[in-house]
Structure 1
């Protein structure tokens, strides 16, 4: 058998302090979920006051709309603890939602008109108004339907002793932070190359409600089920496709990941460059503004990417300014659909897989990635999104075409080796068992999330909304009947009360008009 560079690296690392350091991997999860009425329609009620102020509550907030909740866990080294925190936050919120429920899918429920999607409101402070105006801009640029899609973001960082061991093993004598940033960029490049595997395994949006198209035609080979469900028979994740949370208007942006300075420059150019597409939409200087500004990106968060390098920013610091100041601190995975088979939207099995997959992406050789190769990786992803569970589907790997199964089996062979490091670190077989279990999905596409969902549609000739409503009701009952696992109710009540106090402090500190505040913000960006 060919002895790869990864094999050599794993042999070296198995004899160092790196293995034990893997227990110190830090994670955080952001789970989005639409609030829905018992009928399955989108909720039009304001953000539940009983869960705090969305501007200043650090665990329960909103995303694009008042009805799109976002649950944010603190950083933890325990995957089990993270899921307990997520479960508690959802339980607490459900107790303050009356008869409303949480939609357990990524693609939205029945929405009669995009005007039913009420923009998230963050209060009267300048920063709160800026957040809402940013969303007004998203609505006027791309429409609200796309913004009603929910996902799960997985944040991860490796501990300092991991980096010390890895840098020592590679005999790198440069600065630790430069080493870390370069390694994270290598991870990102490899992740983009093999992102299609995440879509194959965990894509859970092969279907959508016809209302999502708002009467528009699609070239996708949809089949129909029930009263209004459209689905791709072999599809995986419409959320990541052209109908989903993407932005074709950004196709001219050539954001690259070969160096931190290159990445930062690409994004900073986009937030300073005017766009002809948005020239006729009034910006913050108008009496009735409809967007923050007329640039390609209003702010950096508008850049849609399945993975981002991140650093916690200081006050009034933009994301790229934080990266330029201190280097990459962690990565944010944005490619996960909501897992409809988990009451938290993501399972422990998925977290363990991501631990292994991201470590594999980090340790594996990662040559520089030019724009053409980025385009190839995007085309591979689109192929899997549309026909990933078709055994005849082939992807481009270098100069050759390979079957999904052949490429996936090759990846899983390497993942099995990396999983052994995690087993050694934790003193059990759980990581290897997870990889072995998911490897069986390569030859059995019906076991994937999308496969299971489509099977129900075809067997029962039902609507995907019926599946979702049953799960939403089941999960609500389960949450309400269970005990808190990490937080206490009184602790969450205190966080709620504190958020209103903090929001008042933010309002009281404002000294400028909104126009002057935004002028100052953009001058410093």
Structure 2
């Protein structure tokens, strides 16, 4: 038997060897959690990013995403689930103590947006060329897609395996490629499998089956919404409206054909999209009457504009394009972007979810992963969209590549039979039963859709005939009080005080060290091959 056709079961068994098992310990994770600042009445806060928190441009842990009102909390990479969540909790606690009477919205779909797009202030990053470019990029997103889509919030889960794991796997397979090429190839196999099996994530973690009607004011859609209360819209079996065409999986990018079959193909197809003229965006104009409207009129302004449920990543140096970092140094980690904010967790995600994501992503990594054919890509997209819009529908069927359609429950149980072997492996090396418990709690959701986050949330709204606004405000106030009073677990407040001061100094230095004007800076940035 060749190494290339080894089965998942055989691959897992190989990891139980005494020299192999310890190398799995040390899975590395990071979390980026987005959340909107709101006033006590549920409207989007119009105030600037609090100066007391430091610089959104250069702060290591507290920044903004699309809007000045959309906060993003970033943890460092950690090989401990407990430390990861302690750090995320400490960031939240510190921020809550600096928000005054403002709160954080605890749901993925936005709060009350009475003024539509015009009520959403673009994130501001100061007068440096880098800061101006970040704001202008967001200006382009506003013109291209509208601001409402951009303030939908989620949780991004960054995942990588330790160096010891890669060295051991490289040896197991008798592979003669450079180690980094082997790593990149295997991570892309993981990415392809997430496209195949990734509907499990919105089914299990989707928590946006309903939204405030103000989100859709003045916009067209074809979804058969039902009404609840005074202004809440919902789909009875939806799991994640955030991941629907209403959200960040934007239809205009459906034909991009970004290949994940090899790193060279991924980088070249991404670069092609960044350098391809888009007539529909040209109509917006780039610089009109002396004012910029977008960075350029190409299909993608920059790499970050690619809306994808998962991305291969490499930490870029200052001023380095993400695609250049990948091309030069290979894949370092993957970023899973299809996780909704968990409304039942004060920090948007809990330990059982993190451990299930470890299990799911390691399963995707170890499962053999052939290149994706165009018809299979289309099939995967259909399955994903079905689950997003009607994932809890009784007897919902999903397609299998090269096989007959199966009910979501039957297909889910088939996948979970393999996931159990991975959870057992993780418990054997480092879990102490925690992975098995997380596995069981998520298997129960496959067997009973009423246990999913989306069903729980919708059930509460229906039972109380309550709008989503008071539901969200009640959670928001509760978490505000809980986190404000939370004692630091990992970082004292002084740690963030010092980082805030350093971040403001870094921003000032960036603003004082620019040697060219913004026009020249942009021209130079996009002139680089």
TM-score, normalised via structure 1 length: 0.98
Correspondent of 1:418 among 411, 418, 422: 422
Of stretches 391-400 and 515-524 in structure 1, the one that deviates more from structure 2 is 391-400
Q: Using the alignment, how far apart are the partners of 1:4 and 1:185 within structure 2?
A: 18
Matches of residues 240-389 of structure 1 in structure 2 within 5 Å?
240-284=243-287, 287-389=290-392
Q: 1:413-447 CA distances to partner (integer Å, 9 max, x unpaired)? A: 11110111111112611101110121011121010
Show the 5 A alignment for 1:380-459.
380-399=383-402, 400-426=404-430, 428-459=432-463
CA contact 1:282–1:288 (8 Å) conserved in 2: no
Displacement after TM superposition at 1:18 (Å): 3.3
**Deviation per residue, 1:470-491 (Å, 9 max, x gap):** 1100101001111011111111
The corresponding residue for 1:195 is 198
| 1:48-73 Cα shifts (integer Å, max 9, x gaps) | 11110100101100000000000000
- Consecutive unaligned residues in structure 2, runs of 5 or more: none
Determine whether 1:157 maps to 2:160.
yes
**CA distance, structure 2, for counterparts of residue 370 and residue 202 of structure 1:** 27
C-alpha separation in 2, matches of 1:103 and 1:18: 44
Instruction: Indicate whether 1:238 and 2:237 are aligned.
Output: no
Bigger mean CA deviation after superposition, 245-254 or 78-87: 245-254
| Cα contact 2:14–2:20 (8 A) shared by 1 | no
Q: Distance in 1 between matches of 2:40 and 2:92?
A: 17
Distance 2:450 2:256 in 1: 37
Range with bigger deviation, 437-446 or 27-36: 437-446
**2:183 pairs with 1:216:** no
- Give 1:23 shift: 2.1
Question: Which residue number corresponds to residue 8 of structure 2?
Answer: 6
- Give 1:92's aligned residue: 94
Question: What is the CA deviation profile of residues 9-59 of structure 1, one whole-angstrom value per residue up to 9, with x for unaligned ones?
Answer: 111111153321222111110000000000011100000111101001011
1:221 and 1:17 map into 2 onto residues whose CA distance is: 56
Helix, strand or coil at the partner of 2:32: strand
1:511 CA displacement: 0.9
**What is the root-mean-square deviation in Å for CA atoms of aligned residues?**
1.3
Paired residue secondary structure (2:133): helix
From 22, 25, 30, the equivalent of 2:24 is 22
Q: Distance in 1 between matches of 2:208 and 2:456?
A: 11
Distance 1:287 1:141 in 2: 19
The equivalent residue for 1:487 is 491
Task: Tell me which residue corresponds to 2:525.
Answer: 521
1:138, CA displacement in angstroms?
0.2
- C-alpha contact (below 8 Å) 1:79/1:348 kept by paired residues: yes
Cα distance, 1:317 vs structure 2 = 1.2
Shift, 1:286, TM fit: 6.0
Q: Which residue is equivalent to 1:50?
A: 52
Query: Does the CA contact (< 8 Å) of 2:93 and 2:485 recur in 1?
Result: no
Specify whether residues 281 and 427 from structure 1 end up closer, same or farther in structure 2 by C-alpha distance, changes over 3 A only.
closer
Find the residue that maps to 1:495 and give its secondary structure: helix
Task: Provide the secondary structure at the position in 1 that maps to 2:239.
Answer: coil
Residue 280 of structure 1 deviates from its aligned partner by 2.0
Q: CA deviation at 1:327?
A: 0.6
Aligned partners of 1:484 and 1:18: how far apart in 2? Answer: 37
Residue of structure 1 equivalent to 2:103: 101
Aligned to 2:511: 507
Question: Partner of 1:441: helix, strand, or coil?
Answer: helix
User: Secondary structure at 1:440's aligned position in 2?
Assistant: helix
2:175 to 172, 175, 179: 172
1:250-273 deviation per Cα after TM superposition (whole angstroms, max 9, x unaligned): 122110110000000111001111
Of 450, 463, 467, 1:463 maps to 467
Secondary structure (helix, strand or coil) at the match of 2:199 reads: helix
Tell me the distance in 1 between the aligned counterparts of 2:381 and 2:281: 26
User: For structure 1, which segment, 398-407 or 511-520, has the greater mean C-alpha deviation from structure 2 after superposition?
Assistant: 398-407
Structure 1: stretches of 5+ with no match in the other structure = none
Q: What's 2:77 paired with?
A: 75
Aligned pairs, number: 523
Higher alpha-carbon deviation: 244-253 or 315-324:
244-253
- Which residue does 1:472 correspond to in 2? 476
Aligned to 1:186: 189
Deviations 1:483-522 (A, max 9, x none): 0111111111000111110001101110111000000000
How far 1:219 moved relative to its partner? Answer: 1.9
Q: Which runs of 4+ in 1 moved over 4 A?
A: none
Q: Rate the CA distance shift 1:418–1:348 in 2: closer, same or farther, 3 A.
A: same
